[in-house]
Amino acid sequence: MSAVSRAAGAVRAAAERVVARVRRPQLRILTWNVKTGRPLATVRGPLDAWIRTHRPHVVVLQECYTIARGLRAAYEPLGWQVIHDPSNHPEADDVVLLVRARRRVIRRGWIQHLFPWVGPVHDRQRKGRSFPWVEFDFAGHRIHLVGLHRIPVPGRNAPSFEDETQLLVDAEASIPPGRVRVWIGDMNVRALELVRFARQLGGTAHPGAGYDAAITDPDVDVEMTELDRGGSDHRAVLATLRLPRRRRKARS
């Protein structure tokens, strides 16, 4: 084979890889820590603009303690399914998922983690996290998505962080086969700890802006695009997931 033929073959192969990548189904997820205590109106302004511009299929919001029910009232009439822990344990309303209503939701729920918070303000108080999750069908795949806002790892709360990690790993083990698995949100960990957490879940880490990141199955390509802060102390991040072309057979 001549050098010209080899070069032409390499070019064709590269072009085929690019086309295959472009043709893979793309799932768009917007994640944003809105910052505690903000009025709903100041959150909706930038959020609505990002939804119009980027057309996410799922939105994952953190620190929604005072606006979770307002989000439900505002977005369900607009065609979103709003998912969060409705119980009254501390910080149950932290993470809220918005899923476009035309996606057929198969199952939904939340993972609760209650723990003693050790610190100058919350010493000896019992706090908690709820991580809502949802399963829905998309482009022939069944997606299992968990919204996260993890405990900050430094300091005296490290034992609670490790307990929380084990809780999430145990929950991962209960996910039925055939799902495309996604964990996304405010991870509150640096790069090395994020990689370690991803390995424990059997996934691949995709850092975004600051502590905001995604973890997915290894065969999912992810592009993380930083947006602006929208008045928060965190940048919003748009995660574009390129799913495998080969559809998985999901079992219930």
The per-residue pLDDT for 92 is 81
Contact (CB, 8 A) for 197 and 215? yes
pTM of the predicted model over 0.75: yes
Note down pLDDT in tens along the chain; length 252 residues: 677 666 666 656 554 554 445 579 999 999 999 999 999 999 999 999 999 999 999 999 999 999 999 999 999 999 999 999 988 776 788 999 999 977 789 999 999 887 765 555 444 455 678 999 999 999 999 999 999 999 876 566 677 888 889 999 999 999 999 999 999 999 999 899 999 999 999 999 999 999 999 999 999 999 999 999 999 999 999 999 999 987 666 666
Q: What is the 3-state secondary structure (H, E, C) of 68-103?
A: HHHHHHHHHHHCEEEECCCCCCCCCCCCEEEEECCC
The per-residue pLDDT for 54 is 98
Say which CATH superfamily domain 27-242 falls into: Endonuclease/exonuclease/phosphatase (3.60.10.10)
Q: Please report which helix (H) or strand (E) contains residue 134, including its range.
A: strand 125-138
Count of other CB atoms within 10 angstroms of residue 63: 24
Token representation of residue 77:
């009439």
The per-residue pLDDT for 161 is 84
